[in-house]
Amino acid sequence: MNKANRSAPHPVTLPYDFVPFAGDEVKPAAATEYPYLKSEVPSHDGNAEFPLSGYLSYRITPHSDLALEVRKRAGADAGGNYFISGSQIRGRIRANVEMLSASYPEFIDRSEMLYRELMKPAGEAISSNAYKDLLGIGSTQGNKKIEQVVRAGFLEKVGNEYYIIPAKPFGDNNFVSIKEFELVTKGLLDRDNHLFQWGINYRNGKADSNLIQKLSKPYREIEELDKDISGIRRSSLKGEITKEVEEIIKRIFTNDFAFNTHIKGYNPDLVVLQEQLISALQDKVGNEKLEPLFTKMSERWRLKAEIHLMYKNKVVPVNPNFKPFQKNVNFIASGTYISSLSISPIKEGGQKGFLYNSTNASSKRSHYLIGEADKQQEKIPVPPAVIETYKLLYNKMRSTSKSFYNVFDEYTELFKACGREMPIVFYQDNVNHEKVPLRIGRTPYFKVPFGHQLKGLLGDPAEQLLDYAQALFGYISVKGEEGYKSRLRFSPVDLKGEADFEGDKKPFLLMSPYASAGGMYLRPKKGVPQGYTTAKGSMPNPSQQLNGYKYYHILKDTVPYHPSGERKNMETVKTVFSKQNINNMDGKIYFSNLSQQELGLVLLSLDIELLLESQKYRGDVQKYLNHSQSIVKMNKRADGTLKPETLYELIGGAKPYGYGKVQFKIKDLCLEKQGNDFESLIVNTSDELQSNYTEYIDAFIEAMNGPDLFNRIHLDRYIRSKQEIDFAGKENHCNWDNLEYKISTSDREGGKKGGGYPANWVLER
């Protein structure tokens, strides 16, 4: 497939989709509905404007198996005394309230979006310039090496606090990278620690010497060419190599002759490509005096291309059983030059150190040599904020060797696994050179923040105003601001059935969002997936919009998950209950001091079909449903009016696999009697209202500017999110069981393979 085809937008469907935020603003905060001032929040004591207190009871009917946290009341006999906490329902209802009332999207995950390679719009070359600049190894920092800007050290735990002890450096480098084939020939690595499988005798523990020789030869020649090129740069030609010439040379190598885009086919003629490179350098620089430099540089490029093809064509196949490691070694070094490396002690001039590798990333061909802890250096305390950021990243990892990265929560286990040595970490000091680690990780290639963060894309809520969701569900005290107690309380939900609710334990792969999911989470422009940066890859893209509220599709049938030993550390176990064993579930929502429109909103959040009971806006509702038939599946009632096909909610866990499909129906609405008469105060405190919700539904619609509400909150997409969808036979559909396979077999821009969503993927809407 050619580059143009690879760059074309590729629509896919996933287990999730989005309901757009209210309005059509770039940032949803700008379209938020604020009915109250925070200084005038609805009173918990009630008044004429907020007179309604009582409860509504509802019934949940299962339509699929459920992954729930079921509890049994203490001392209760089996059967009829099982329940789930009201909080498992509260979150679902709050999300509905937010969407229906154009409230600020409060509970969208705002953890930092981090990356190692910037995602950009499809059709643009993937560039890592912005990443390199943020890490400190870009052209603006003099093209320093990663070994010079990232430091290595050892994590020490003292009580409940953590410190970094710096490792001894190697001259100007903080650690040294050593090609794996050099270590393999010396027998310094266990087979499980090899990044690659070295030849036909690999299973016997012996590397193929011919393969090693074939690979080491171009490396040795490259070393000699490096010396020659450095000599030319220091010679009388030094004055000819201006900054402008350097920029031209750089563009030719990185843009015109990049390996991933310029080397095509299994066995291209590299000599011809080398000649083309020399011609390009001569034509674009236009200085015949530099021909010796161009000849050496193009020859070095050809040798590097040979190595690239050996790995790309799997002449040296990747070792699928790689395990991360930290191993004691001894060495003799002069600066960055390692003259001797051994597992055994070295008597004269020997130093202690460690061979280390945490991952077999596709582009990785080396291991790290790290000096021993420098006890003369001052320890560097690790701030709690840095630890929490690291833990957030850890929780989103998909690595099958995940425990190797759990340096804080499993420090003692890692200490023992490393031969009672402190775990190695990489870090960067604060930009002000204070002794505070700005970044910390088990690899020197840190994940760094996107220019756009979700908080910025959402916009900030108004500080002195209150939306409906906050007014109903309350909010906690922040920065000295007084909190506000919820006016809704969710009772435990009782399970009714014929059997004990023990459930079955089942594993699931529950994914966290890829940082590369711009084509999924960001609104496309004319069908083209958008990235988080501009085309140059260094600045945040100012016009990005989030797709909206994420929801999981309601599936016709549950999707089987096939457990894999390779993914065991990424799986989570859920307790699944058969829908056959649960007849229904009954719960209550108690409310106090609500207005009519607030009660109408709560009713609609449980059952959006109550819109059909509107008296004042009945015609507007039908008109809107008629125009929404291209999105919402409809049925026609006996009187000719439209009604959405069956609507569902999802509760509990394993939603991407089709679990948790239920229907909510309101059973009763009970209101406390108002008034000062004897009967209201003494005889009866509540009055049951039989399905008479019209005035509350109409009050809410009116408070939200009448039927304009429907378009404003994208009601059609909201309703569609609660209807079944069937992906059977759909080739471009990915679920959590096959996503990694779909990604690995996709055609990427530049023919590139790797983790994360391909840049040309866009969510089919």
Q: What is the pLDDT of residues 603-622, one digit of tens each?
A: 999 999 999 999 999 999 99
Q: What does the pLDDT read at residue 656?
A: 94
Range 683-717 burial, b when 16+ CB lie within 10 A, else e: eeeeeeeeeebeebbbbbbbbbeebebbebbbbbb
Other C-beta atoms lying within 10 Å of the C-beta of residue 764: 15
- Identify the CA nearest to 581 among candidates 15, 79, 45, 3: 79
Whether the pLDDT of residue 541 is over 70: the answer is no
For residues 644 and 616, what is the distance between their CA atoms, to the nearest angstrom? 20
For residues 444 and 147, what is the distance between their CA atoms, to the nearest angstrom? 8
Query: DSSP character for 610?
Result: G
Q: What does the pLDDT read at residue 321?
A: 84
Of the ranges 78-92, 174-188, 448-462, which is most confident? 174-188
Contact present, 241 and 232 (Cβ < 8 Å): no
Whether the pLDDT of residue 362 is over 90: the answer is no
Contact present, 147 and 173 (Cβ < 8 Å): yes
The better pLDDT of the pair 250, 99 is held by 99
Q: What does the pLDDT read at residue 677?
A: 44
Q: What does the pLDDT read at residue 37?
A: 92
For residues 325 and 319, what is the distance between their CA atoms, to the nearest angstrom? 14
For residues 602 and 435, what is the distance between their CA atoms, to the nearest angstrom? 52
Q: What does the pLDDT read at residue 716?
A: 96
118-168 pLDDT, tens digit per residue, is 334 333 333 456 667 767 776 656 667 889 989 999 999 999 999 999 999
Query: DSSP character for 682?
Result: I
Read off the pLDDT of each residue in 39-60 and give the average, rounded to a whole number: 87
Q: What does the pLDDT read at residue 537?
A: 42
Read off the pLDDT of each residue in 354-376 and give the average, rounded to a whole number: 89
For residues 8 and 748, what is the distance between their CA atoms, to the nearest angstrom? 10
Q: What does the pLDDT read at residue 121?
A: 38
3-state secondary structure of 186: coil
Q: What does the pLDDT read at residue 7?
A: 60
Residue in the structure block whose two tokens are 């056959």 = 580
> Which band of pLDDT confidence, cut at 50, 70 and 90, is reported for residue 750?
very low
Read off the pLDDT of each residue in 182-204 and give the average, rounded to a whole number: 79
Q: What percent of the chain has pLDDT over 90?
A: 41
Torsion, Cα 72 74 77 78, to 10 degrees, reads 10
Q: What does the pLDDT read at residue 266?
A: 66
Calculate the average pLDDT of the chain: 83
> Which residues 6+ apart lie within 8 Å of 701 measured at CB?
600, 614, 616, 617, 707, 709
554-572 pLDDT, tens digit per residue, is 999 999 888 876 666 677 8
Q: What does the pLDDT read at residue 694?
A: 93
Whether the pLDDT of residue 313 is over 50: the answer is yes
The better pLDDT of the pair 212, 117 is held by 212
Other C-beta atoms lying within 10 Å of the C-beta of residue 160: 5
Q: What does the pLDDT read at residue 684?
A: 47
Q: What does the pLDDT read at residue 359?
A: 85
Structure-block tokens of residue 625: 């449903």
Contact present, 664 and 588 (Cβ < 8 Å): no
Whether the pLDDT of residue 195 is over 60: the answer is yes
Least confident of 20-34, 130-144, 672-686, 721-735: 672-686
Whether the pLDDT of residue 63 is over 90: the answer is yes
Q: What does the pLDDT read at residue 512?
A: 66
Q: What does the pLDDT read at residue 704?
A: 96
- Identify the CA nearest to 717 among candidates 633, 651, 643: 633
